């Protein structure tokens, strides 16, 4: 309403911290059901923090802070204070610390392979602390709302409101009216996943209008193979020996859907996609004896959701291959921050106690080192006793002791100083462009990071070809294209709404625009419920894979969408994609159909299929639902003025009631007129 618009200034470009739950506890943030309100105070110095937590006369405070103060020490002091109503963090690189990782020091420590029954001395990162910079902030539970402010203009509005009304003068308290902020982020779910799912199940059973309180984190894995696999045949694939090449699709940060994940995730995605581009033509002309199976796993940041689901399906004979088809595995970890151009091959010391596994792993290392010949890379391996870093490969080892390696840019601890934070972005991966380039020029500009990852992709492609039994004399034909890498980095880290990505997607997606500007976010979220059939990142990878490995057909749109009606096409071996195609000079596009062996498979924890919401073997992460997420600022009067206004209002009400009663009781006297003597006319 117009009155509301005069009172409140609504802040649109905000991102909340939301509540997540697992089998044992809840993490994240929430407001009260009616929103939390506090007087604005900008945290710029240590004295500001003392003012907020102890000496300020106008609690509770809504704290506005720059990045420099957004750390565990400050947040925990505010968590333990009743004088804080909420926090708003200004997202900027100003004052950014040399490192910031709100994740734990030992990611996914309870769902990896190391446990009391498997390498007990290596469990809980006893051997190596992988993320020593982790402060665990993302795994705390805050009883007040915490928002991120993304829009610079709205940040300036906040600052002006604070400076005009709330700023201290010579250390004295500001006078009313004061600038206040209200944050709404009430979460429906509480306690843990077990409680939430039980309450949801009860509502579904007995309520006419059931309300879902939380949803399992879910989406889809993306996979393809150099030789098509029959998607309708489940279980063991006869005469198939498969080398798995894998990486993860997702990341996370403290704030909801703010996960650029450049080094943590994108470096692996880009490397594996470029690997496929380099490897695919050669595998068609000179196919190696073994099939190469490429997989992109979703939900790995939350206790290996995607990989555990694929392994579960393999064990239940509900996938195109089973564990007995798996010959070996090579996983691409964080590979974007090469120190001295060195890559490290991590292996599992427990499975290598088996002589045949150890022999195969050693041979695998030798093949990778021979594939590195002529490249500007050095490849080495850590101490044999060092455990695997957090990786999807660990979930495969839980099912079967298969030979495998994890390729990464770190020997021991991560080199990524911003692991699982909103600052693991393009700049962290050194993806920068000269000034003055147009978006289309930036798209194809080969940065140093692109050239570096192209080298890594070439190494991985040649290594996989050798591991699959390919001839060494074909290796020189396997080289990753730096231009493809440059386009992938630009699309995933800078601008997803670019000409190349648009040409790969279906026309209905292209016409609507590729969602919002900027890079995609890699938080798995709720996949199908929020993003349609699949998360945007999943969709991008699926269609990029189809472009890199598929064949253009002459099928019409209706034939492409229903290929089973054609005797010449095989829907069991291939998927069919109706894509927009590149734009012509006048901007028009001619869509066409692509045939490719690219598939999606569910990435949802088996715990929710088994209804084991308290499982210790599988991920149990859920995300709470909410009704509204919003923020607004307004001026608030002093308590005395509010009470005076209330008192005057009550007095006016009582007076009006008294006057109304008096008038009503004297109505005959006040409103009756003298009766006129009737006259009669004859």
Share above pLDDT 70 across residues of the chain, in percent, rounded to a whole number:
96
What pLDDT does 533 receive?
Answer: 58
Give the closest residue to 487 by CA, choosing from 269, 339, 282, 245.
Answer: 269
Among 131-140, 145-154, 530-539, 606-615, the range scoring the smallest mean pLDDT is: 530-539
pLDDT at 160: 94
Distance in angstroms (rounded) separating the CA atoms of residues 106 and 128: 9
- Positive or negative, the CA dihedral 319, 321, 327, 331 is negative
The chain-wide mean pLDDT, for the chain, equals: 92
- Tell me, what's the pLDDT at 299? 96
The DSSP call for residue 54 is: I
Please give the pLDDT value at position 170.
80
Query: Is pLDDT at 471 greater than 60 in this prediction?
Result: yes
Q: What is the DSSP letter of 82?
A: T
Distance of CA 370 to CAs 18, 256, 352, 438, Å?
Answer: 48, 43, 21, 40
Alpha helices in 171-318 (DSSP H): 193-206, 267-285, 305-315
Helix (H, G, I), strand (E, B) or coil at 113: coil
Give the pLDDT confidence of 29-39 residue by residue, as tens digits. Answer: 999 999 999 99
pLDDT of residue 93: 77
DSSP-assigned letter for residue 576: E
Looking at residue 353, what DSSP letter applies?
G
Predicted pLDDT of residue 678: 57
String of DSSP letters for 433-502: --TT--HHHHHH---HHHHHHHHHHHHHHHHHHHHTT--GGGGGG----HHHHHHHHHHHHT-SSSHHHH
Q: Quick one: pLDDT at residue 658? A: 93
Q: What is the pLDDT of residue 522?
A: 92
Q: What is the pLDDT of residue 680?
A: 56
Reported as a single tens digit per residue, the pLDDT across 342-372 is: 999 999 999 999 999 999 999 999 999 999 9
H or E element: which one contains 393?
Answer: helix 393-399
Alpha-carbon distance of 136 to 116, in angstroms, equals 24
Average pLDDT over residues 394-409: 97
Q: Decide: 658 and 208 in contact? Cβ < 8 Å.
A: no
Q: How many angstroms separate the CA atoms of 471 and 32, rounded?
A: 65
Question: Between these two residues, 372 and 668, which has the higher pLDDT value?
Answer: 372
Q: Are 623 and 20 in contact (CB under 8 A)?
A: yes
618: pLDDT strictly greater than 70 = yes
pLDDT at 410 over 80: yes
Burial level of 105, CB count in 10 A (0-12/13-18/19+)? Answer: middle
- 212 — alpha (psi -120 to 50), left (phi > 0) or beta? beta
Asked whether the beta carbons of 216 and 603 are under 8 A apart, the reply is: no
**pLDDT band at 99; cut points 50, 70, 90:** very high
What is the spatial distance between Cα 601 and Cα 423, in angstroms, rounded to a whole number? 30
Cα-trace Rg, the chain: 31
Mean pLDDT check: name the lowest of 205-214, 235-244, 451-460, 550-559. 205-214
- Whether residue 404 is preceded by a cis peptide bond, meaning omega within 30 degrees of 0, is no
pLDDT in tens, 191-233: 999 999 999 999 888 888 888 999 999 999 999 999 999 999 9
Tell me the pLDDT tens digit for each residue of 493-551: 999 989 999 999 998 877 665 657 889 889 997 755 555 555 689 999 999 999 999 99
431's CB contacts (< 8 A; 6+ apart) are: 262, 447, 449, 450, 489, 490, 493, 494
Are 594 and 550 spatial neighbours (Cβ–Cβ below 8 Å)?
A: yes
What tokens does 365 get? 């290392």
Helix extents (H) in 12-137: 46-50, 72-79
More confident residue, 174 or 365: 365
Percent of the chain exceeding pLDDT 90 equals 81
pLDDT at 681: 58
């Amino acid at each position: 309403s117009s009155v509301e618009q005069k009172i409140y200034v609504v802040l649109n470009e905000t991102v909340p911290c939301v509540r997540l739950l697992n089998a044992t506890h809840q993490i994240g943030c929430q407001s009260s059901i009616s929103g939390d309100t506090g007087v604005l105070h900008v945290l710029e110095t240590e004295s500001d923090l003392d003012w907020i937590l102890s000496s300020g006369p106008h609690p509770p405070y809504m704290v506005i802070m720059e990045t420099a103060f957004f750390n565990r020490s400050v947040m925990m002091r505010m968590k333990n204070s009743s004088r804080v109503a909420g926090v708003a963090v200004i997202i900027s690189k100003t004052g950014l610390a040399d490192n910031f990782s709100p994740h734990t020091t030992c990611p996914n420590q309870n769902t990896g392979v190391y446990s009391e029954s498997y390498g007990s001395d290596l469990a809980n990162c006893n051997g190596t602390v992988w993320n020593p910079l982790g402060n665990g902030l993302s795994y705390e539970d805050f009883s007040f709302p915490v928002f991120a402010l993304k829009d610079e203009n709205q940040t300036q509005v906040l600052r002006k409101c604070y400076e005009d009304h709330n700023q201290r003068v010579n250390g004295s308290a500001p006078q009313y009216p004061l600038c206040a902020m209200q944050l709404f982020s009430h979460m429906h779910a509480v306690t843990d996943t077990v409680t939430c799912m039980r309450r949801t199940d009860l509502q579904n059973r007995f309520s006419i209008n059931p309300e879902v309180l939380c949803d399992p984190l879910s989406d889809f894995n993306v996979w393809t193979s150099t030789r098509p696999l029959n998607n309708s045949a489940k279980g063991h694939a006869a005469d198939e020996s498969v080398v798995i090449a894998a990486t993860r699709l997702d990341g996370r940060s403290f704030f909801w859907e703010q996960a650029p994940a450049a080094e943590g995730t994108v470096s692996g995605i880009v490397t594996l996609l470029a690997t496929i581009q380099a490897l695919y033509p050669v595998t068609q002309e000179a196919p190696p004896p073994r099939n190469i199976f490429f997989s992109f796993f979703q939900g790995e940041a939350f206790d290996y959701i995607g990989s555990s689901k694929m392994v579960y399906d393999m064990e239940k004979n509900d996938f195109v291959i089973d564990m007995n088809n798996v010959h070996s595995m090579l996983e691409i970890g964080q590979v974007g921050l090469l120190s001295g151009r060195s890559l490290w091959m991590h292996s599992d010391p427990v499975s290598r106690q088996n002589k045949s596994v150890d022999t195969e792993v050693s041979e695998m290392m030798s093949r990778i080192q021979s594939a590195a010949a002529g490249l500007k890379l050095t490849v080495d391996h850590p101490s044999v006793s060092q455990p695997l870093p957090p990786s999807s490969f660990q979930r495969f080892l839980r099912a079967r002791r298969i030979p495998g390696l994890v390729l990464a840019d770190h020997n021991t601890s991560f080199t990524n100083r911003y692991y699982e934070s909103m600052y693991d972005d393009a700049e962290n991966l050194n993806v920068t462009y000269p000034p003055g380039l147009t978006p289309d020029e930036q798209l194809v500009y080969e940065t140093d990071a692109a050239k570096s990852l192209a080298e890594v992709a070439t190494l991985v492609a040649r290594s996989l070809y050798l591991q699959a039994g390919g001839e060494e004399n074909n290796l020189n034909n396997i080289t990753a294209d730096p231009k493809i890498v440059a386009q992938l980095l630009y699309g995933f880290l800078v601008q997803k709404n670019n000409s190349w990505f648009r040409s790969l997607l279906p026309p209905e997606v292209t016409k609507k625009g590729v969602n919002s500007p900027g890079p995609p976010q890699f938080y798995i979220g709720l996949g199908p419920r929020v993003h349609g059939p699949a998360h945007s990142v999943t969709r991008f990878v699926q269609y990029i894979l189809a472009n890199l490995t598929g064949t253009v057909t002459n099928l019409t749109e209706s034939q492409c969408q229903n290929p089973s009606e054609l005797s010449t096409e095989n829907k069991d071996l291939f998927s069919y994609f109706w894509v927009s195609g590149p734009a012509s000079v006048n901007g028009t596009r001619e869509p066409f159909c692509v045939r490719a062996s690219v598939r999606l498979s569910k990435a949802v924890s088996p715990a929710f299929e088994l209804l084991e919401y308290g499982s210790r073997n599988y991920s149990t992460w859920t995300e709470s639902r909410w009704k509204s997420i919003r923020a607004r600022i307004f001026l608030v009067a002093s308590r005395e003025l509010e009470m005076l206004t209330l008192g005057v209002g009550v007095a006016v009400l009582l007076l009006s009631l008294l006057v109304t009663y008096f008038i009503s009781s004297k109505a005959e006297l006040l409103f009756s007129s003298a009766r006129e003597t009737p006259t009669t006319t004859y």
